[in-house]
Amino acid sequence: MSDEHGSVFDGLLGGDDSAQWAFGTGFEDPLAGVDTTTPGGVDPAELAAYCLMLGDDALIMSQRLSEWCSRAPDLEEDIALANIALDLLGQARLLLTRAAAADPDVLPRLPEGSPVPPEDALAFFRDERRFRNVWLAEVAGGDFAHVVVRLLLFSVARLALLERLRTSRDQVLAAVAGKGVKEVTYHRDWAGRWFLTLARGTGESRRRLLAALDALWPLQAETVAAHPLERALARAGVGVDPASAREEVDAVLGQVFAVSGVARPEPAQPSGIGGRTGRDGVHTEDLGRLLAEMQAVARAHPGGRW
Amino acid sequence: MTTIPMEPQQEERLRAAFDATVARHDRIEPRDWMPDAYRGTLVRQIAQHAHSEIIGMQPEGEWIGRAPSLRRKAILLAKVQDEAGHGLYLYSACETLGVSRAELTDLLLGGRQKYSSIFNYPTLSYADVGTIGWLVDGAAICNQVPLCRTSYGPYGRAMIRICKEESFHQRQGYELLMTMMRGTGEQRAMVQESVDRFWWPVLMMFGPPDAHSPNSERSMAWGIKRNSNDDLRQKFVDMTVPQAEALGVTLPDPELRWNEERGHHDFGEPDWEEFAAVIRGDGPCNAQRLAHRRAAHEEGAWVREAATAFAAATAQEGAR
Amino acid sequence: MSADRREWPLYEVFVRGKRGLNHVHVGSLHAPDDAMALRHARDVYTRRNEGVSIWVVRADAITASSPDEKDPLFAPNGDKIYRHPTFYEIPDDVPHM
Ligand SMILES: [Fe+2]
Ligand SMILES: [Fe+2]
């Protein structure tokens, strides 16, 4: 028995067989080996802002999904939701790191000699108005139907975008997209399958699904609305104009609605206030509360090491 | 499970075969004959273990939303997710004994089956995430490594898978504490406070002293349990002391010292009255933990029903 | 031993970690139907490793031998429900034939 104990505890300090961990828990520089120079003819500040848009979508969505941990309808779904949250968190880490590398000016001011790495400075020390995620990712959660509808709308749009981003002139974005396509394909699959199941399950599940769709549909338009910055970067061969993916998004959603026997909701106007949306840093009240929780410990210890 | 009535001699022969299998440290497998009391003890122990994994998601799950770095958030989420997997493996092992996960969940929610007392303590700072990994998962490993060779096959195999993952849990916890100890003075104080708070409850995880452990002896004879509570507790203390030194924290026990003669550390007695109170349901978080689990289970009922109804409907369509 | 009506059926999961190897039983899980069982198996047992082949089969579709068929005293249950997470113990390194 002593030898078996020995082997278990031996590894406590040494070795790093992190293959056991899900993606995103790695201890190394997430962008090691990828060419991080900004492609010619691209404004680094614009590239950074664009990375924040995609990164914040993933980060905030991941934060919302991880609220399900230990609360899902069954253990199998608990594990599935955590996997999706981990994938998106991994994407967020790469994209935030990319934003900081492209333009260090996006980093919030921290005390001299702060040990906080760039991805964490952006996640934990940036103020609400500098977050550029869509509202769909941030609004407070509801029941299981709510998470299914939100993830369906989110992942259909994100997959269409990542597929096009794989040919980006920016090496990092292309690499993130390549990896992300596989992940988000699975997310879309999970959400689509549950959408169908709830739509055709019981009267109760259908009622809840339609209620969630009602609540979230007005936020869908923002996921395919083109921000001027996105258009500019698309022209430079670095970003994707979401409008170019709109047809595909509509078609995929239409398919899911059709097999589920759900009428396609009327097209909604992009959400926002005075024409400004999440992409411009204008958010719902829910984001402030989300950030208050997410940033609490980090901000209490600005010189902390974790 | 259907039991066909048997002649007394037949049962005697089966029992002899069972005893011989256990005696030669061979495994009992699900369809083998086994004494009812063996089955009952296994169900109780495996279920309690499974419940502990699932309830154990909560104290750390509290901090996923507040993890102070993205890397820590990913590690913590992956870790808590592992615990769900552990619960799932163990419920499956229990199902080979003819008890369903739904029945076991009902027993847990009805307060008729227990889970580890340690999860009835709150997590009050991010250092607790590290301490739980280092000490709680560490104690669990101590308890569980011997169970990889337990006499019941499915249980042992589940434990092998679990132990592999637990050692990562312990490492991430220890690594978090090491990193915090290199941080600010505030962080170091946070680590020490957390270790102070968890040390005694962790020692209680090994169960009451052998003299007061009602089921231990029979479980050991059956090979369900492999080491006594006190032996494992001693082993854990001996292993932890040098780790605490390397970390730079003190363990809150004035009686803790090396005993040259025994070749082991002497240490103080945990507060067994507190232990009894927590087991009884009067710990700081008992009600909260069960309420959380019950809410998740009840709020998920309509989803499980919908999936069942959908599967039935599609199966029917397929048959037509 | 009819399944709890509130509960999804039990599936056994077999995984082939690499080309050239046999599928090996890794555990079990609950799912409402085959498609969902595959999805769950991917999440629970492979962490969604690409290139891994997974089989799932409903536990009640497995017909199992008794450990010692010749022993007339061993009373087989007669039904096919065989809840057994590690039925096939095949060493991981058995090469593809
Ligand atoms: Fe565990
Ligand atoms: Fe653990």
Q: Does B313 touch chain A (CB under 8 A)?
A: yes
Residue A269 burial by Cβ neighbours in a 10 Å radius (0-12, 13-18, 19+)? exposed
Task: State how far the Cα of A204 lies from the Cα of A220, in Å rounded to an integer.
Answer: 24
- B82 or C78: which leads in pLDDT: B82
What whole-number percentage of chain A has pLDDT above 90?
A: 82
> Tell me, what's the pLDDT at C66?
61
> Tell me, what's the pLDDT at B226?
75
Q: What is the pTM of this model?
A: 0.89
Q: Is the pLDDT of residue A17 over 80?
A: no
> Tell me, what's the pLDDT at A131?
98
The CA-atom distances, in angstroms, between A131 and each of A71, A281, B51, B95, B196 are 27, 5, 40, 48, 39
Mark which residues 80-119 of B lie under 8 Å from A by CB: 80-81, 84-85, 87-88, 91
Q: Does A110 touch chain B (CB under 8 A)?
A: no
* Spatial CA neighbour of B207 closest among B307, B129, B116, B128: B116
Option in A69, A89, A303 nearest B184 (CB): A303
- Å from C71 to nearest chain B CA? 10
Option in C7, C66, C73 nearest B14 (CB): C73
pLDDT band at A48 (very low <50, low <70, confident <90, very high): very high
pLDDT band at B7 (very low <50, low <70, confident <90, very high): confident
Q: Does A9 touch chain B (CB under 8 A)?
A: yes
Q: Is the pLDDT of residue A153 over 90?
A: yes
> Tell me, what's the pLDDT at C67?
56
The CA-atom distances, in angstroms, between A136 and each of A59, A196, A223 are 12, 21, 8
Contact B31 C84 (CB under 8 A): yes
> Tell me, what's the pLDDT at C6?
61
User: Which helix (H) or strand (E) is B311 found in, with range?
Assistant: helix B301-319
Q: Is the pLDDT of residue A166 over 70?
A: yes
User: Residues lining ligand 1 (ion), CB within 5 A?
Assistant: B 53, 83, 86
Contact A66 B168 (CB under 8 A): no
Q: Is the pLDDT of residue C71 over 50?
A: no
> Tell me, what's the pLDDT at C64?
80
pLDDT band at A13 (very low <50, low <70, confident <90, very high): very low
- Distance from residue C90's CA to the centre of ligand 2 (Å): 28
One-letter-per-residue 3-state SS of chain A? CHHHHHHHHHCCCCCCCHHHCCCCCCCCCCCCCCCCCCCCCCCHHHHHHHHHHHHHHHHHHHHHHHCCCCCCCCHHHHHHHHHHHHHHHHHHHHHHHHHHHHCHHHCCCCCCCCCCCHHHHHHHCCCHHHCCCCHHHHCCCCCHHHHHHHHHHHHHHHHHHHHHHCCCCCHHHHHHHHHHHHHHHHHHHHHHHHHHHHHHCCHHHHHHHHHHHHHHHHHHHHHHCCCHHHHHHHHCCCCCCHHHHHHHHHHHHHHHHHHHCCCCCCCCCCCCECCECHHHCCCCHHHHHHHHHHHHHHHHCCCCCC
Q: Which amino acid is located at C17 in the chain?
A: G
- Å from B305 to nearest chain C CA? 7
A82-134 pLDDT per residue, tens: 999 999 999 999 999 999 999 999 999 998 889 999 999 999 999 999 999 99
Q: Find the mean pLDDT for residues A26-30.
A: 50
Mark which residues 27-56 of C lie under 8 Å from B by CB: 27-30, 32-33, 36, 44
Q: Does B170 touch chain A (CB under 8 A)?
A: yes
Q: Find the mean pLDDT for residues B252-256.
A: 98
* Residue ranges covered by each domain of chain A: 36-300
Q: Is the pLDDT of residue A150 over 70?
A: yes
Q: Does C23 touch chain A (CB under 8 A)?
A: no
> Tell me, what's the pLDDT at B200?
98
Residue B167, both tokens: 């050692």
A57-87 pLDDT per residue, tens: 999 999 999 999 999 999 999 999 999 999 9
B188-228 pLDDT per residue, tens: 999 999 999 999 999 999 999 988 877 677 888 888 877 88
- In B, minimum Cα distance to A290 occurs at B65
Per DSSP, helices labelled H in chain C are 34-45
Per the CB < 8 A criterion, the answer to whether B1 and B98 are in contact is yes
B113-135 pLDDT per residue, tens: 999 999 999 999 999 999 999 99
ipTM of the complex: 0.94
Residues belonging to chain B with any Cβ–Cβ distance to chain C shorter than 8 Å: 1-4, 6, 10, 13-14, 29-33, 85, 88-89, 92-93, 95-96, 98, 100-103, 153-154, 157-158, 161, 301, 304-305, 307-308, 310-311, 314-315
| Phi, psi dihedrals of residue A217, rounded to the nearest 5° | -55, -40
Kindly list the residues from chain C whose CB atom is less than 8 angstroms away from the CB atom of residue B161: 27
Q: Find the mean pLDDT for residues B233-258.
A: 97
Class for the domain spanning A36-300: mainly alpha
Mark which residues 68-97 of C lie under 8 Å from A by CB: none
